[in-house]
Amino acid sequence: MSTQNLTISVAKGDGIGPEIMDAVLSIFNAANVPLNYEEIGMGKSYYDKGFGNGMTPEAMQSIERNGILFKGPMETPKGKGVKSINVTARKVWNTYANRRHFRTIDGVDTVYSKAGIPIDITIVRENIEDTYGGIEHMLSNDVALSRRFITRQGCEQVIRFAFEMAKKEGFKKVSCGHKANIMKLTDGLFLEVFYEIAKQYPEIQADDVIVDALCMKLVQYPQDFEVVVLTNLQGDIVSDLCAGLVGGLGFAPSTNVGDNISIFEAVHGTAPDIAGKNIANPTSLLMSGIMMLRHLGLLKEARSIEGALLYTIESGVHTGDFGDRNSPTVDTTAFAIAIIDNLGKLPSKAKIRATEDRSDFHLPVRPDQQRVMKGNPSTIEIEGIDLFFTSELLAEEIAEQIFAILPSDLKLVSLTNRGTVVWPNGSVYTECSTGYGVRLKGNGKTKSEWWDITNTLGSVIDVSSTEFLNVIDGQRAYSVGQGK
């Protein structure tokens, strides 16, 4: 698609956002980037005006019409019940893959640059699911529960994106970070899908590493990694770790990619303490903008601006947050002007990655209705139920109460507390909260019958939530208690 006269939605953000966005757009204009900018209302001030999702209806319409959101950092008001506008935007428009690129930049000194260790790592983070569903409940005054969602379809989207991106840009290895040794069903599903998709890309080396070991190896041997794909929360943490390897979030570009809408943003904070002082570093937002230009197929402009940015930093021009402390700093405006003056120049050391001369960008195709990502047919049998409840009694006392009313065709399998089996054969050294789980099993019962059993047990235990013990295609589809 031709990007001549293409319009994108621009939200300048909060705090230092307007300053760094103005600096970036001045560079784009000087480089003759053929884009039109439709400024929209998003951010903390719109929460304050009563817009519960932090944006006006006109802003949503603009983004859904243009397909691209270019945004500065935004603040979410503190307090319960208010969702992050950044997370909301990613989820509402199903930008399922977050890509962040971390590279050594000459002129940004780090432990690794001083040691001569080059870093060029791309983190691909799942963007919709996991604990970022934000579904939490207080089961009692002192027991909180968070639900974690991992879907096969969501895994397939982000993992395929990682391999397609690696293939397109010439990466040779994709690694899967996970915690499948502990979260055997959720992270286990992510890892299973990773290797299923990896088979379709035999030219790319695929491996996996447990996320805690991954963090250690990234610090010890960052040069060993090219592309790493992770679930949402783990990807968030590892992304910031990688930012620390290359100088901080001020040098960490970010894009959130979906099938119809994509978001390009600075992921650092709003820095209200320096807002309005014209001293903020616009590099992260500019690098995100360069990723956006490549996404749109504006490769000539992207190369020109990236070359000028790297040349400028390599030449020693810097804002106050990085660079040689013995050399004078420049303000935001002067930094942008220096980049503009260097358009057409290339750095002597850094390489600009070649990108295939094509783009998959298209204007959003508005669906007639929401889409359900249907899974494969399967047979599901229910062999029991987990009931979660609160009690200040000991496990043995709870078991006696349950036995007193338990139907004869049911088996009381276990009582757990914080995931650890405390009955039968529990240890006296296990300290218990007031939040318990009871597991019951029985053959051939329907969901309706299990709900009746739940109501019966509700006369002796204070049930907070329930989960069915499913067997899917003959395989157990639930966890066992710790210590069982």
pLDDT score at 31:
97
For every one of its 484 residues, what pLDDT tens digit does the chain have, with 9 covering 90 and above?
444 579 999 999 999 999 999 999 999 999 999 999 999 999 988 888 888 888 999 999 999 999 999 999 998 776 556 677 888 888 889 999 999 999 999 999 999 999 999 999 999 999 999 998 888 888 888 889 899 999 999 999 999 999 999 999 899 999 999 999 999 999 999 999 999 999 999 999 999 999 999 999 999 999 999 999 999 999 999 999 999 999 999 999 999 999 999 999 998 999 999 999 999 999 999 999 999 999 999 999 999 999 999 999 999 999 999 988 889 999 999 999 999 999 999 998 888 876 655 567 888 888 888 888 888 878 999 999 999 999 999 999 999 999 999 999 999 999 999 999 999 989 999 999 999 999 999 988 999 999 999 999 999 999 999 999 999 999 999 998 776 6
Helix, strand, coil fractions of the chain, as percent rounded to 5: 35, 25, 45
Q: What is the dihedral of CA 341, 345, 346, 348, to 10 degrees?
A: -90
Could you say which architecture CATH assigns to the domain 1-95+271-363? 3-Layer(aba) Sandwich (3.40)
Tokens in use for 164?
A: 């397609």
Q: Which residues contact 290 (CB under 8 A, 6 or more apart)?
A: 253, 302, 305, 306, 309
Report the run of H or E that residue 465 belongs to, with start and end. strand 462-472
pLDDT score at 310:
96
Q: Give the separation between CA 215 and CA 156, rounded to whole angstroms.
A: 24
pLDDT score at 376:
80
The third-level CATH classification (topology) of the domain covering 380-476 is: Alpha-Beta Plaits (3.30.70)
Of 130, 191, 201, nearest to 161 by C-alpha is: 201
Give, as one character, the DSSP assignment of residue 133: G
Q: What are the domain boundaries of the chain?
A: 1-95+271-363, 109-246, 380-476
Tokens in use for 31?
A: 């480089």
pLDDT score at 370:
86
Q: Which residues contact 363 (CB under 8 A, 6 or more apart)?
A: 1, 65, 66, 67
- Which residue carries 């990108």 as its tokens? 355
pLDDT score at 355:
60
pLDDT score at 362:
85
pLDDT score at 214:
98
* CB atoms closer than 10 angstroms to residue 83: 14
Instruction: Give 428: exposed, middle or buried? Use CB within 10 Å, 0-12, 13-18, 19+.
Output: exposed
pLDDT score at 326:
87
> Three-state DSSP class for 388?
strand
| Same fold? 1-95+271-363, 109-246 | yes
Q: Give the separation between CA 54 and CA 47, rounded to whole angstroms.
A: 5
pLDDT score at 3:
47
C-alpha distances (whole Å) from 402 to each of 49, 385, 434, 450, 461 are 52, 14, 17, 15, 8
pLDDT score at 86:
84
Could you say which architecture CATH assigns to the domain 109-246? 3-Layer(aba) Sandwich (3.40)
C-alpha distances (whole Å) from 86 to each of 48, 93, 132, 274 are 16, 11, 11, 21
Dihedral sign for Cα atoms in the order 229, 232, 238, 243: positive
pLDDT score at 1:
47
Q: What's the whole-model pTM score? A: 0.92
pLDDT score at 350:
81
| Sheet bearing 475-476, strands edge to edge | 420-423, 411-417, 435-441, 380-390, 462-472, 475-476
The residue count of the chain comes to 484
Cis peptide before 424 (omega within 30 of 0): yes
